[in-house]
Amino acid sequence: MYTSKISGLGSYVPENIVTNDDLAKVMDTNDEWIQERTGIQQRRHIKKGDGNSTSVMGAKAAKIAIDRANLTTDDIDLIVFATLSPEMYFPGGGVQVQEMLNMSTIPALDVRNQCSGFVYGLSVADQFVKTGMYKNVLVIGSENHSGGLDMTTRGRSVSVIFGDGAGAAVVTRSDKEGSGILSTHLHSEGAHAKELSLEGPNTGHWVPEIIAENPQEDIPYYPYMNGQFVFKNAVVRFSEVINEGLQTNELTPGDINMLIPHQANLRISQFVQKKFGLSDDQVFNNIQKYGNTTAASIPIALTEAWEQGKIKEGDLVVLAAFGSGFTWGSAIIRW
């Protein structure tokens, strides 16, 4: 068995900044209401004509990550692309990135695990590298939420939360024992799938049926979230899966140098931070600037933390995510 490590990181967000005050102009909300419940001050939205899309942003982040890994696109053996917002129903975004980066006929795998997508993708990459099948795997998380949100008062509880962006990591074979990705831990609980979901259109309920059956005030193709229920489950599952990773590697919360949680809600991150007794220097949050970018949130935050010098060689880095499905997971990394 080989070991795997993250050899390069990159991120990209659109230039268009949407503040809480901007949202207050189109729906009944305000900066205080949004910050009190989520901690979010602003987010980035794709702007019509800026050339961005889920795959385009993913490719931009990927280029940075590959360059920082001191590799070229010819060195990449597999693409793992995580998103809930691909340009097309099919095919997925992975093959689009493969074409945009002018790669050879390498495989492209799409992961649909929403907020947990990057951790799931990282776990897949880790296993492919550790078993010796591939040497360099590109993992991307990218989301374009803004085009599918109900930007009215009716949808404010969901729409104020989400933003657009992309992050990427190159997972590379390593011969250094005791470092790199030590372990990953994945879970799901489909019993609560509808508590955070977007049901239509789908193959059992296509667009013509939706239009015929639903008045405009009851449109089912916007995201639905049972906020309080999601919050209560998230804080439990975050804690469980972090502890699972620590215990597997005979570590304790005191060993953590940097925890990077999925940026779902600042209040969730603060709850987890307090439960594990971590200082502000041990937890990285950037939801204030970007909102919840789902599969992109962890790689964007991981990239920023590394760029700011908050992650150094030898540090114990913990990634943890929870989201729609419900799905959740963690990764324990010795940098």
Active site residues: 115, 262, 292
Structure tokens at 16: 């268009």
Could you tell me where the DSSP H helices lie in the chain? 20-24, 31-38, 54-68, 93-100, 117-130, 156-159, 207-213, 227-248, 266-276, 287-290, 297-307
Q: Is 155 exposed, middle or buried (0-12, 13-18, 19+ CB in 10 A)?
A: middle
| DSSP string of 138-173, one letter each residue | EEEEEE--GGGS--SGGGHHHHTTB--EEEEEEEEE
Distance, CA of 14 to CA of 25 (rounded, Å): 21
Contact 195, 323 (CB under 8 A): no
Determine the Cα–Cα distance for residues 8 and 91; give it in Å rounded to an integer. 27
Max Cα-Cα span within the chain: 60
State the CB neighbour count (10 A cutoff) for residue 67. Answer: 14
Q: Which helix (H) or strand (E) holds 242?
A: helix 227-248
DSSP tag of 76: -
Taking CA atoms, 221 is separated from 90, 147, 156, 224, 283, in Å, by: 18, 12, 15, 9, 35
CA separation, residue 304 to residues 86, 102, 111, 240 (Å): 24, 27, 23, 26
Q: Are 121 and 111 in contact, with CB atoms under 8 Å apart?
A: yes
